[in-house]
Structures are given as structure tokens and as C-alpha cells.
Amino acid sequence: MEYRKGVLLAGNPISREELVKAVEGERDSLSKIVKAMHIFGPRNYTAIARITGIPVETVRYKINTQLRNRGVRVYAHIDYGKLGLARYTLRLKFNPEIEEYASKILDKLAEVGYLYYYGRTIPRWEYVCELALPPELELKYKVFLGKMVEEGIVERYSLERITSVRYVSMDAEFYDLERGVWNVKLNSDYDIRRDGLEVSIEEDVCSNPRIDSIDLKIVAWSQADAYLTPTDIAKRISCDPKKVLYHYKEHIIKQGIIKRYIVLLGCGLKAEQDPNMMVIVRFENISRDMVDEARRIMEKIPFMIRDTVSVHPVTYTSHLLVPTEHVTPILEYVSEKAASLRERIEYDIINPKKSRSYSIPYEMYDDYTGWRFDLNKTLHAVSEIAYGKLVQPIRVSGYPASSKQSDEFKL
């Protein structure tokens, strides 16, 4: 990312002076670097060095050797709204006879059905999924889901549009960056005060996004690995490096498609271990005032990474990435602090072995027709996985099949 005095990410409300002040307030060099990475990401060593006053080579060493080996992970927060995509929560209960094929079906939906996350809950074995779907395709997608029920693949589903999305970085004040461990006392009274650098809010959905297939592939690789440079990405998508750099600067950065960089802590310390559990806390069927109350409670927890609001009915949802030893204390904390909302709280514990995230669904975009969804082909693909063969042809009036298919390009 290009560094220019007084200019950070496009549309970013944080000025250079505010960033310098926030960085100066950190206690040590590692904390200063982590703070600067919220704006510049993990590979713009020169910009981070200028902001922190730490030599470039020292910044490079600390990011690539110390932070990456101590459970610090950095992700690009992509503003789906600027791509013309709205976020949806999809809850699925598969037919028990189809359950063994559920992961393969959801993998396929990530390729042809706008799905970018799924996780199976413990102990209900329901799937919490997230979609990035053009709003104009919502009705068509509901027809597809209804057909999945008719074919006996899914027992039931619910689909709700998310109206508000915030990504937040985990609080480094409670994490020992030198040792790579959390310094949170069990059953402590959490009191987190995240600053503007650590919170990234998505915008409304753009009805006419100014994007193309090259932009989307660059964004997908930026999601997959925030450490990749435009030159690295150019090699992976077999595109001229100068062309990729132009698209990156003029389309992605200037339009604010990359909102911010999100820092997660305590992740991937050892490949054979799962140190964290995904805990989803939902406050269901509440008023707008209750949303504010629920948010104030949840955002004080150092393990929160994202929260959302949906409106039919009004539901506030908080996503936490919690070290296993803190799961019970966290649930007790929420129950105690949200006593007035206790009857409206639901929890989902996600099985880490039955969850997966994907990049944006760039396969679904065509430079001539834009975002598309072929209901028949998608249903046939899912049915083939579930039953090992195609079911009888499905004819849904009013929804013609797409005439174009995108090139196969998989991460």
C-alpha cells in the first residue's frame, strides 16, 4: 500500500496525526507495530517504520519472525457492500441421511452459491452459514433453499439479511506478545476500550459497483493471505504485475474496498492444536435500545472479533474467538452482565473441525452480466453430491439459466 503523508486508506476516518498518537501510547515496539498494522497491513514495512519510528528492517523482522510465530494473524477486512454484496446469515439443518455429505455440499455452495463461511454447532448439529449475496438475488436464492427442502437434502432453514457489520481486532492489552499467550484472568470483569483503529464498519450495499473480475481475484487473494504483495498476487492469477498494481491502487484502495486490517491473537500456535473455540452469542427478538445494551456488554470482551445486527426480527449477534479455558467464564460473564436480557440469549458453540471460511465468491461474477446465480445448475450440483446422481430435472418458472460460466480459479 502506498504511503503518503496525511493519507491512509481511502475513506478512512483516522488521520495520520491520530494514528501517530495511538501508536505512541503503546508500551513497546511489538505493540506499536500491531497498532500500525490495523491501517497498513502486515507487509508495508516502510509505512509502519515511519509511523512507529522503528527501523524498517527491525519492523520486517518483528512481523515475519516474532509476531507470526506468536499467534498473531492479520486479515484484510473487505467491504462486501462496495462489491454489490449484502451479508446474510443462513442456518441449515441437514437430513440425517445426508449429514455425511454436508461439508462437500457446503464446499460446493462456496464455489457456486455465495457461501463464505460455515460452522456446525455443538450439540445440535445445525450449520451456521454466512452468505455474501447480491440483494436482487435474495428471492431466487430462497427458491433454491426451498427446493433443497423439497428434495430431502435439508430439513429446515432460515435466511436473514444482516443490516450492520463491525469487525474488531482482539485486544492486545490482554495478550503477551513476547510469549504469545493471553493474560486474562479467569472470571475477570472484562473492561475493554477499543479505539477507532481497532473497529472497522461496513458501508451500505452499492447498487452499481465499479469492479471487474481482476479486482475480485486480487481481493480474494488479499483475503486468503494479507502478507501477499500485488506482485505475488499477479503470479497467482497469471496477470501482468503492472496491471495488477494499477487495479490494486486505483480500484481497490481508492474505492475503500479494503476497509482495515483486523488483528487476531492466540491463533495457530501449533498446527495440531485448536487453542480457540468460536462462540456465537445471539440476543434475539429485541428492541433497538436492547441492541445498544447488548453491544456495550459484548464489546468489552477481549475475544470478540465481529458483531452484526439483523432486523426480522431484530437480533444482535456477537462472534467470539475464545481460548478453550475461557469458554465457561465467558458464558457466565454474559449471563451475569445481561441479566435483563437473559431470556433472549442463545449460544452457538462451533465445532472447529466442522467449520471453514472462504474468500469472496469471485466465480459468480461475469464482466458482462455482473453477479449471477444459476438456480438449476446449483441444485443439480448439490443433488449429485447428496445422492450420487442427478435427481429429476428441476424447472422453476421465471428464472432462466445463466448462459455464461466463469473460469475455474480456486485458492
pLDDT of residue 59 exceeding 60, the answer is yes
Q: Name the nearest CA neighbour of 194 among 35, 80, 48, 332.
A: 35
pLDDT of residue 314 exceeding 80, the answer is yes
pLDDT per residue over 205-245, tens digit each? 998 899 999 999 999 999 988 988 899 999 999 999 999 99
Q: How confident is the model at residue 274 (pLDDT cuts 50, 70, 90)?
A: low
pTM of this prediction exceeds 0.95: no
The residue type found at 164 is: S
* Percentage with pLDDT > 90 across the chain: 59
Q: Which three cell numbers stand for residue 29?
A: 515496539
Q: How confident is the model at residue 385 (pLDDT cuts 50, 70, 90)?
A: very high
Mean residue pLDDT of the chain comes to 85
Q: How confident is the model at residue 268 (pLDDT cuts 50, 70, 90)?
A: low
Q: Name the nearest CA neighbour of 73 among 197, 219, 172.
A: 172
pLDDT of residue 2 exceeding 90, the answer is no
pLDDT of residue 405: 31
Q: How confident is the model at residue 78 (pLDDT cuts 50, 70, 90)?
A: very high
pLDDT of residue 117: 96
- Per-residue pLDDT averaged across 276-293, rounded? 94
Q: How confident is the model at residue 262 (pLDDT cuts 50, 70, 90)?
A: confident
Report domain 165-200+269-356's class.
alpha beta
Report which listed range, 27-41, 144-158, 272-286, 298-312, is most confident.
144-158
Q: How confident is the model at residue 15 (pLDDT cuts 50, 70, 90)?
A: low
Q: How confident is the model at residue 112 (pLDDT cuts 50, 70, 90)?
A: very high
pLDDT of residue 283 exceeding 70, the answer is yes
CA distance 373 to 378: 8
pLDDT of residue 169 exceeding 80, the answer is yes
pLDDT of residue 396: 42
Q: How confident is the model at residue 394 (pLDDT cuts 50, 70, 90)?
A: very low
Q: How confident is the model at residue 315 (pLDDT cuts 50, 70, 90)?
A: very high
pLDDT of residue 27: 75
